[in-house]
Structure 1
Amino acid sequence: MALKDDGEIFDLDAQKPLADLPDDVAYQYCVNRAFWYDRRDELTAEHVARLPHRTNVLRTHAGSQWNRQRHAWAPEMFADMATRSGAAGMRVLTIFAEPSAYHPTNEINYLAYARFTWDPNRSGESFWQDEVAPRFGGEAEAAAFQAGVRVLDDPAATASALTRVRGEALDQVAATSGEVQRRWLWLAERTARFAHSLQQG
């Protein structure tokens, strides 16, 4: 059973009609990206214990929503959700995961989801060093990719800012090969597409 409203997990009055429903099913609460950062401190073990049923699932559409977040960078959010929901006693964290892992942003999101749901106590530093940095050519390169994606995710980004990121990505395309190169080529193409749209508009 899914409760799709972002506020319902924190509205105990809204939970009252669920009390008469079976306890041997999962009750799913969906949260979006903005809502999570506004309300995450309320997800405590004390609050989860007051929900009507035992098997409670947290679900998010972050990193795959259509409102320019289809390929948004969200590994920090997935790590945070895994850590907090586990500590609060939520049984499961799920994600929509609609886009292919071909897209490097989604690839990193899914890796964060997999690693931090398996081990919520894992450090962000070890995840970055072991999983992220090698996929972009090193730690400095991964940080540059992340910075470029932040521009791509920013709805206020200008065509000139996107074009600058495209140039930096193409420099990495020329300096790399294989899967690392493919990831940088993706960033170059995406920023070129967004810049073109702004220039045409």
Structure 2
Amino acid sequence: MGYVLLLVLGLLTTLGLWRFGRLRGASLQLALAALMVGGAGYALQGRPSLPGMPKAAGLRPAPLSLVKPRQAMFGQFNSADRWLIIADSYQSRGETAEAVGILRSALRAHPNDPALWVGLGNALVDHAGMITPAATIAYERARAAAPNHPAPLFFQGLALARSGERDKALTMWQKALRITPATASYRPFIAEGITALSAAPPPPAR
């Protein structure tokens, strides 16, 4: 599953940072390196079937930055984005519990904002190193708030892929693609992710 994640995250981050972030040269290489270290570390060493166990902050895989794809799907410079930027700053320093706390506070003020629910789901996945029941609930709340928006399905699918659940991730992404407008700038982002994940071999049976 490590190679699946390397392939998918490499494709998604390259598309997102190049298309939406306009990063080039050394800046792009540095951003991709940071993302791939975090994703590949869990893909190669994570074991989602084991019960949860608290880990020292220094041993936890680096959080995966999802700022650019999230902003591409939900937009920027809105009330949710301001909260999400604060949470992103904590996540970038590995302070994942603080990021979760910020987003929970934001949701008390804006309980029906799908971008904040997606952000909380992502933050919970980064904090645990895998998808959890609490993260699943957050993504479900995002879908309830925006049933026709592909972003909640896309990010839940990515969380499943990061946790070794390839088939479930594919199902989520295929649903996301079906409800994505043909003219959406991020449609190729989802379509190419499906192609990459479909081509990868399934993880070995546990």
TM-score category of the 2 structures, normalised to the smaller one: 0.3 to 0.5
Query: 1 or 2, which has the higher strand percentage?
Result: 1
* TM-score normalized by the length of structure 1: 0.33
* TM-score normalized by the length of structure 2: 0.33
Structure with the larger RCO, 1 or 2 (CA within 8 Å, 6+ apart): 2
- Structure with max Cα Rg: 1
Query: 1 or 2, which has the higher helix percentage?
Result: 2
